[in-house]
Structures are given as structure tokens and as C-alpha cells.
Structure 1
Amino acid sequence: MFKHILLPTDGSDSSDVAIQSAVQLARETGATITGLHVVPPFHTFTYRADMLEDTEEQYDKESEVQARKVLMKIEQQAQAGGVPFDTVVIRSDDVYDAIIATANHRHCDLIAMASHGRRGMRGLLLGSVTQKVLTHSELPVLVYR
């Protein structure tokens, strides 16, 4: 069975459901969890309001604080379930690629993640990190909806 689960989260309600389920799976199988939050690096020219108003130093500091808040949910669930865990923050513009690279680098044998369930034109325009992970990962991917 699985021994090391990568659990990426974006802090959404969908991710919260995935966290609860993945922690339960890890507890039942004796697996370790690595929680992951991917933060886009600072860009001088951007569409994101939080980057337009900040300096690079401010953005890095505030995004790190926000990432730690998001990962706190994994920490709390894993501690409550008695599941060994660690967390990591990665800076990347390509979220799906960062997820796959982290899973490989940390020798995970499963990626467990949420899907927001976007369909139709909205899904096509916004793209799907989950779909890209499913398409490009050589590791098994468990998707929670």
C-alpha cells in the first residue's frame, strides 16, 4: 500500500475535504503525509493585486505567512490522527509541475488532491491543476471531489 502521500492544498473548501480524507487514508495504511502549498513567485508586472501593491520583500513575507496558515490545516488534521507529516512551501508559476516535482523529489508514492469540479467553458478557460497533474504524473493520483 502507499507509504508516503503528497497532499497539495490551495486552502479551498475542496482541499479541506481532501485533507480530511487523505489523513484518514494515511492513518489506515500507516503512511506519512507531506503537505504542499505552491505560491507564485513575485513578478513586477502581474495581474495579481497583492503583487502590485507590495515590494518583493513584503510579498515574500506575507505569502509565506499565508502559506503557513493554509498548511496548518494539514498539520492539525495529521496531529489529531496521529499521522507523521511534514509541510513544504514551493514558489512556482507552474503549480502542477511543482506538485509533480515535489512528489518525485520527496519519494512519494501517491498524490492525493482535490478537484474543484469546473466544467465546460469555465474549466477550459481556467484550466485544471488537477487535470494537468493527472495527465503528466507517473505516480498514482487520488482525486477527491
Structure 2
Amino acid sequence: MYKRILVPTDGSEITAKALQTAIGLARLTGAQIFAIGVKEPFPYSAISEMQPVPPQEFYDAQERIAAGRVKTALDAAAAAGITAQGHTVEALHPWEAIIDHAKAQECDLIVMASHGRRGVSALLLGSETQKVLTHSTLPVLVVR
């Protein structure tokens, strides 16, 4: 059934729930887990000397945070006896990075969390999960 499952992680509690769901599916199907952490690009402005944080310091912090989140996912998979790989990628739009990474890793399922926003807040904030659902050609399992 599923052999390669992508799990995006942002370190939230709901993402941990999605990871546990993916681990359960992987256990049932013998699949591998691919964890991804998306890093924000440096917010360049026209007045570069007014940046509050130097670019390299920003990149290092983003990598440290994303790698830590991915490591947590890999540790959970290893504890369950599931083979897993993890990657961090930089992207302006996380949903695009998730879809692109799923294709690059030849995943056949994306398991991701939804924070369950509704109404105006969902409209204003948007949803990376909703965008993945809208644009992905792969099956997406949404965990709440």
C-alpha cells in the first residue's frame, strides 16, 4: 500500500499527533517515514543595515530549529522501529516545499496536521494544509 510517507513537522503538538499517525501507518504497511522541516528565508529589506539580525545568524537559527524538529520526528520513528529520513528545506511557501519534497523523495502519501481554523481566521491566515490538499496530486491524510 504505502511505502514512503512524508510528514511535515513544525514542532507543534498537533504535528506530533500527525507523526504518530504516520508511524502507525508505516508499522502496518512497512513504509518508511520522511520528515521535513521547512525554514523561512531571510526577510531582506531595501534598508539592509536596519536588519535586526545578521543573515548568517538568522540562517543558523532557522537550521537549528528545523533540524531539531526533524530530529524529534526521526527519534520517534526510530523508537517505533520505523526506518526514517529527515531533511530541512528553505522555502517562501511551505506548502510548495512539502509537495516538491514529496515528489523528490518519491513519497506516495503525505500525512500532515491541520490546526482546524475555521471562518474568517482560516480565510485570513490561510492554511498550508489546505494549500497542499488543493495542489498535491498525491494522497494527503489530514490529522486533527
TM-score, structure 1 normalization: 0.93
RMSD value, Cα: 1.2
Aligned residues: 140
- Matched residue, 1:28: 28
Q: Does 1:102 align with 2:101?
A: yes
Structure 1 residues without counterparts, runs of 5 or longer: 47-51
Is 1:37 the equivalent of 2:47?
A: no
Alignment correspondent of 1:81:
80
Give the aligned partner of residue 7 of structure 2. 7
- Could you tell me how far apart the structure 2 residues matched to 1:137 and 1:144 are? 16
Kept after mapping to 2: 8 A contact 1:16/1:73: no
Q: Confirm or deny that 1:19 pairs with 2:19.
A: yes
Corresponding position of 1:125: 124
Moved segments of 4+, more than 4 Å: none
Q: Deviations over 1:80-100 (max 9, x none)?
A: 111111101010011111100
Give the Å deviation of 1:53.
2.4
Rounded Cα–Cα distance in structure 2 between residues aligned with 1:75 and 1:101 = 20
Judge conservation of contact 1:35–1:88 (CA < 8 Å) in 2. Answer: yes
Matched to 2:3, the amino acid is K
For residues 44 and 81 of structure 2, what CA distance do their matches in structure 1 show?
Answer: 43
Deviations 1:3-47 (A, max 9, x none): 00000011111101111111111111100011001111112239x
- Partner SS for 1:82: coil
Give 2:112's aligned residue.
113
In the aligned structure 2, how far is the partner of 1:85 from the partner of 1:9? 14
TM norm structure 2? 0.93
TM-superposition CA deviations, 1:94-133 (whole Å, max 9, x none): 1111100000011000000000000010000000100010
Does the 8 A contact of 1:23 with 1:33 survive in 2?
yes
In the alignment, the residues of structure 2 paired with residue 102 and residue 43 of structure 1 have an alpha-carbon distance, to the nearest angstrom, of 23
Specify every segment of 5 or more residues in structure 2 that has no aligned partner in the other structure, as ranges.
none
Name the CA distance, whole Å, in 2 between partners of 1:45 and 1:23: 41
